[in-house]
């Protein structure tokens, strides 16, 4: 069947392919194209059946309406315009282009030189022009019907003080789970299966943060090495779920997953990559944005528009300063909230999103202003990865409300303290109380810090106590990739250990780090699999390991450490003193009560000299929260990275006796009671927590 645009075309505000019930309206942005062509394909995407110039242009938006064209139609674009790389233009109508607003993507990229706008191997390099048709090798968009039965689904909007995040990968979480049906492993439906949801609920998780699920291809250099883009930080389709995560072809599987998580009380946070795309540098392929309008979509070098300006380390940087590129990002975010019902976003390399037209980071920049004034987006969970690789890119603490931020300073200080490094009691105290030096400004709260011990990027918790150095040889980069300074310690032998003493020491250090995470002010985030003792065999950059290395191992379901993690999460939920919204000042109230106090092991309040003592390895923390809807709560906690130690118990706020309720070193006297102003033995390398007795 051949199609043609209706003469009764009307201008819809939406970009992309919008099914109206009687036909489909197409719209795409390009400020510098001279003509835009819509290409329609057979259902399998192999045969181009129609090529139709879009008939209308208004405000740099090209559009047209085709009556009778239904959902399921496969399509792409070709753009006519100048091929003038020195002035930033790379139009090439021989290259089929993916619609940036495509809601579904079909096929896989088959890497071929025809996918490049220039002729690879030509002496002129990217200044040359390639005339081969790329359509046979390209993915295509699919017109969608947005209908879905959301009956019974509602946004949870859980307060940050009650949030516990679990970072996970759709394939990694499900590929090895014995209870997930084989046909659903690696998919959204596998994530929505009963065994996965039951595990998260039993653990006490309130929000799952999914590594990128928007469409991304496998990089050519990885495919040629027999590897795969596993993590997915190379987005090409900002509106479409990744096809390899579908058990069939229906994108409603993603909606089904979200609805099932919501029914279990779990929010869904997406890890999103709006700082760059999969097209790479000026020597990368022409797949979408580069061919639609390279000069608008990408930041180009101010002194030479031939070259991309890269603050991401991936070859290109999306030009969020351009109003239509910013609109695309905001439209994408609203789509995932409004149509797909997600509850929030974690922004990869978010400093790039705050860079202005003049390149520097600006916390009052256009992107942040747009988010904050948006009635939809300002109300969901927003988490920044507060750095990129450009000048001035490290911005921990520099983002505006309502953003929360990944806190790598928390990770490093906690790892170093439990590794036994000296001079860390002050750093630990800062991290336990919400990292005030970074976040206590501009009316930001103590939940601004997303605390983590481990994440997808770096060692797992088990590998942090099992390896002194990274072992990334399987990535094919001669072990040059990944962080070299992990603040890890193998406890006596590199890798798996048979020695019971080493295994015991590793178990205790894992308990200490997880307990520290759950006893800290801020928002805790666990790496999926850490509760199971998951290891990546020392690989701290498993971005291309779509195999047993990158997948979660479920052998730890019967491990006592899993029960410890459940208990630590439950302990946090029982104690509102650990989940306070504001930063604690330490000032006494009118009745003389205190909300926070720091003690040395001798029971004396910490002095300046004690804070600076590089040999001190033991720190006591008293916390109190007055009754305010949850009831009053008081705790005394001892963090001991040294040897066995006698610790004096404080008589703070008139407390006369304490009961030990948590001990990472021993269960022998876990519920013993002790008088205030008395003392208690705290074993080496352990945490002990006490509640008022009586």
- The residues annotated with a catalytic role in the active site are 348, 385
Task: Give the chain's length.
Answer: 694
- What would the DSSP string read from start to end of 585-642? -----TTS--SEEEE-TTSPBP-HHHHT-TT--EEEEEEEE--SSS--EEEEEEEE-S
CA R_g for the chain: 27
Q: How far is CA 127 from each of CA 221, 369, 468, 494, rounded to the nearest angstrom?
A: 22, 38, 47, 50
Instruction: Give the separation between CA 332 and CA 343, rounded to whole angstroms.
Output: 14
Q: Using the 8-state DSSP alphabet, how is residue 464 labeled?
A: H
Which three-class secondary structure state does DSSP give residue 369?
helix
Neighbours of 653 (CB within 10 A): 19
Q: Using the 8-state DSSP alphabet, how is residue 88 labeled?
A: T
Helices (H), 357-460: 366-373, 408-419, 425-432, 436-439
633 bridge partner residues:
625
Question: 240: alpha, beta or left, given left = phi > 0 and alpha = psi -120 to 50?
Answer: beta
Q: Are strands 657-663 and 344-347 parallel, antiparallel or unpaired?
A: unpaired
Report the alpha-carbon angle 617-622-627, nearest 5: 160
Tokens of 310: 């890269």
**Nearest one of 522, 531, 521 to 637, comparing CA atoms:** 521
First-residue to last-residue Cα distance in the chain: 81
- What would the DSSP string read from start to end of 310-329? -SSSSS--B-TTSHHHHHHH
Provide the sign of the torsion angle of the four alpha carbons 227, 170, 252, 290, taken in this order: negative
Tokens of 320: 């969020």
**Nearest one of 524, 528, 658 to 578, comparing CA atoms:** 524
Sequence-ordered list of residues with C-beta below 8 angstroms from that of 515, at least 6 positions apart, any chain: 568, 662, 664, 687
Provide the sign of the torsion angle of the four alpha carbons 361, 364, 365, 367, taken in this order: positive
Instruction: Give the separation between CA 220 and CA 202, rounded to whole angstroms.
Output: 41
Instruction: Give the separation between CA 519 and CA 569, rounded to whole angstroms.
Output: 9
**Nearest one of 386, 382, 380, 311 to 348, comparing CA atoms:** 386
Report the alpha-carbon angle 586-588-589, nearest 5: 130
Could you tell me if 410 and 431 are in contact, meaning their C-beta atoms sit under 8 angstroms apart?
yes
**Nearest one of 217, 404, 254, 216 to 335, comparing CA atoms:** 254
Q: DSSP E strands: which ranges in 337-421?
A: 344-347, 381-384, 404-407
Instruction: Give the separation between CA 681 and CA 455, rounded to whole angstroms.
Output: 34
**Tokens 């390009």, residue?**
30
Instruction: Give the separation between CA 2 and CA 4, rounded to whole angstroms.
Output: 7
Instruction: Give the separation between CA 369 and CA 380, rounded to whole angstroms.
Output: 15
């Amino acid at each position: 069947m051949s199609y043609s645009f209706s003469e009764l075309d009307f201008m819809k505000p939406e970009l992309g392919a919008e099914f109206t019930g009687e036909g489909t309206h197409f719209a795409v942005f390009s400020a510098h194209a001279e003509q835009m062509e819509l290409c329609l394909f057979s259902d399998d995407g192999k045969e181009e059946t129609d090529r139709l110039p879009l008939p209308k242009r208004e405000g740099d938006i090209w559009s047209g309406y085709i009556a009778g064209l239904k959902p399921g139609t496969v399509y792409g674009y070709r753009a006519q315009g100048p091929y003038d790389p020195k002035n930033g233009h790379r139009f090439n109508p021989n290259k089929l282009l993916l619609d940036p607003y495509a809601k579904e993507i079909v096929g896989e990229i088959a890497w071929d030189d025809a996918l490049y706008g220039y002729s690879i191997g030509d002496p002129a390099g990217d200044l040359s022009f390639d005339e081969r048709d790329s359509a046979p090798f390209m993915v295509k968009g699919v017109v969608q019907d947005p209908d879905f039965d959301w009956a019974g689904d509602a946004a949870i909007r859980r307060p940050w003080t009650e949030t516990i995040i679990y970072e996970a990968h759709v394939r990694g979480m499900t590929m090895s789970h014995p209870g997930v049906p084989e046909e659903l492993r690696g998919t959204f439906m596998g994530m929505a299966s009963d065994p996965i949801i039951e595990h998260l609920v039993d653990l006490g998780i309130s929000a799952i943060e999914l590594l990128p699920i928007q469409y991304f291809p496998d990089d050519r250099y990885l495919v040629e090495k027999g590897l795969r883009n596993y993590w997915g930080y190379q987005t090409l389709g900002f509106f479409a779920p990744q096809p390899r995560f579908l058990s069939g072809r229906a994108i409603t599987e993603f909606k089904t997953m979200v609805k099932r998580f919501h029914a279990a009380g779990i929010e869904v946070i997406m890890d999103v990559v709006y700082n760059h795309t999969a097209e790479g540098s000026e020597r990368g392929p022409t797949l979408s944005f580069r061919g639609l309008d390279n000069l608008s979509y990408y930041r180009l070098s101010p002194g030479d528009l031939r070259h991309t300006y890269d603050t991401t380390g991936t070859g290109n940087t999306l030009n969020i300063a351009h109003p239509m590129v910013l609109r695309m990002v905001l439209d994408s975010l609203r789509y995932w909230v409004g149509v797909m019902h997600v509850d929030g976003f974690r922004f990869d390399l978010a400093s790039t999103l705050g860079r202005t037209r003049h390149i520097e980071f600006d916390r009052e920049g256009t992107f942040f202003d747009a988010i904050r004034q948006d009635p939809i987006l300002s109300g969901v969970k927003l988490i920044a990865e507060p750095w990129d690789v450009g000048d001035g890119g490290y911005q921990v603490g520099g983002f505006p409300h309502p953003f929360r931020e990944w806190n790598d300073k928390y990770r490093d200080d906690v790892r170093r303290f439990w590794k036994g490094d000296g001079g860390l009691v002050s750093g630990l105290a800062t991290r336990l109380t919400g990292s005030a030096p970074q976040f206590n400004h501009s009316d930001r709260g103590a939940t601004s810090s997303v605390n983590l011990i481990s994440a997808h990027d770096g060692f797992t918790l088990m590998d942090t106590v099992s390896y002194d150095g990274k072992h990334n040889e399987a990535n094919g980069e001669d072990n040059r990739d990944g962080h070299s300074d992990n603040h890890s310690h193998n406890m006596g032998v590199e890798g798996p250990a048979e020695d019971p003493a080493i295994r015991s020491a590793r178990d205790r250090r894992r308990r200490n780090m997880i307990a520290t995470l759950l006893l800290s002010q801020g928002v805790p985030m666990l790496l999926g699999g850490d509760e199971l003792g998951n290891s990546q065999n020392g690989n701290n950059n498993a971005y291309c390991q779509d195999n047993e290395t990158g997948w979660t191992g479920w052998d730890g379901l019967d491990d006592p450490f899993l029960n410890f993690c459940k208990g630590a999460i439950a302990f946090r939920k029982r104690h509102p003193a650990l989940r306070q919204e504001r930063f604690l000042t330490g000032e006494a109230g009118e009745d003389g009560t205190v909300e926070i106090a720091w003690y040395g092991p001798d029971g004396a309040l910490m002095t300046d000299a004690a804070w600076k003592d590089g040999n001190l390895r033991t720190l006591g923390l008293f916390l109190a929260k007055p009754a305010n809807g949850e009831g009053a709560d008081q705790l005394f906690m001892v963090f001991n990275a040294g040897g066995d130690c006698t610790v004096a118990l404080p008589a703070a706020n008139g407390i006369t006796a304490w009961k030990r309720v948590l001990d990472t070193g021993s269960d022998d006297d876990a519920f013993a009671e002790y008088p205030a102003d008395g003392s208690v033995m705290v074993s080496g390398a352990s945490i002990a927590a006490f509640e008022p007795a009586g």
